[in-house]
């Protein structure tokens, strides 16, 4: 049994609890992974009902649809060597991962992405890093050539 070491927002619980069992499982796993990325991650609800996970800026949000769960990543600069991002390549502000019933979440890859986003947020956010003349990658700034 995993011990919960973070403060749960009851509104996020209500959102997840109202979903079909397979979507609940996906949302709970993503929730654990984002909290594993940093113990200071905070849960909230934005846009009336959508669960967001924040730390000095948005990290990700969950949105259950009819046939999958979207995990919105709020950092378009985060690297994706495992190629788990399914949509939004080239978007200016974020990308998404669609997870369908029966799919296994690539926990190590998603955890690393969340850690990169948190590091970028703590460094002032990806926009600030981009404006400084570089591209963020895992919390460090890479110079453009």
Structure tokens at 1: 């049994």
In a domain, 32, yes or no: yes
Each residue's pLDDT tens digit, 104-141: 999 999 999 999 999 999 999 888 888 876 554 444 33
In a domain, 5, yes or no: no
- The CATH number of whichever domain residue 102 belongs to comes to 3.90.1150.200
In a domain, 90, yes or no: yes
Structure tokens at 7: 């403060």
Work out the widest C-alpha separation in the chain, in whole angstroms.
Answer: 49
In a domain, 74, yes or no: yes
For the chain, the domain total comes to: 1
Structure tokens at 35: 């909290």
Residues spanned by the domain of 128:
10-143
Mean pLDDT score, 27-55: 96
In a domain, 3, yes or no: no
Q: Where are the alpha helices (DSSP H) in 4-45?
A: 10-17, 21-37
Model's pTM, two decimal places?
0.86
In a domain, 20, yes or no: yes
Give the per-residue pLDDT at 99: 98
pLDDT tier, 2 (very low <50, low <70, confident <90, very high otherwise): low
């Amino acid at each position: 049994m995993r011990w919960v070491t973070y403060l749960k927002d009851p509104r996020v619980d209500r959102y997840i609890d109202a979903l079909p069992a397979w979507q609940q499982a996906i949302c709970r796993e993503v929730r654990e992974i984002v909290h594993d990325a940093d113990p200071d991650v905070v849960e909230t609800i934005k846009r009336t009902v959508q669960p967001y996970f924040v730390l000095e800026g948005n990290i990700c949000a969950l949105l259950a649809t009819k046939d999958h769960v979207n995990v919105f990543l709020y950092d378009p600069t985060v690297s994706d060597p495992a190629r788990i991002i399914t949509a939004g390549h080239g978007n200016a502000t974020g990308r998404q991962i669609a997870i369908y019933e029966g799919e296994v979440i690539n926990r190590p890859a998603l955890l690393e992405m969340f850690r990169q986003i948190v590091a970028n947020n703590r460094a002032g956010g990806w926009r600030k890093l981009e404006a400084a003349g570089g591209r963020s990658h895992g919390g460090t700034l890479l110079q453009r050539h």
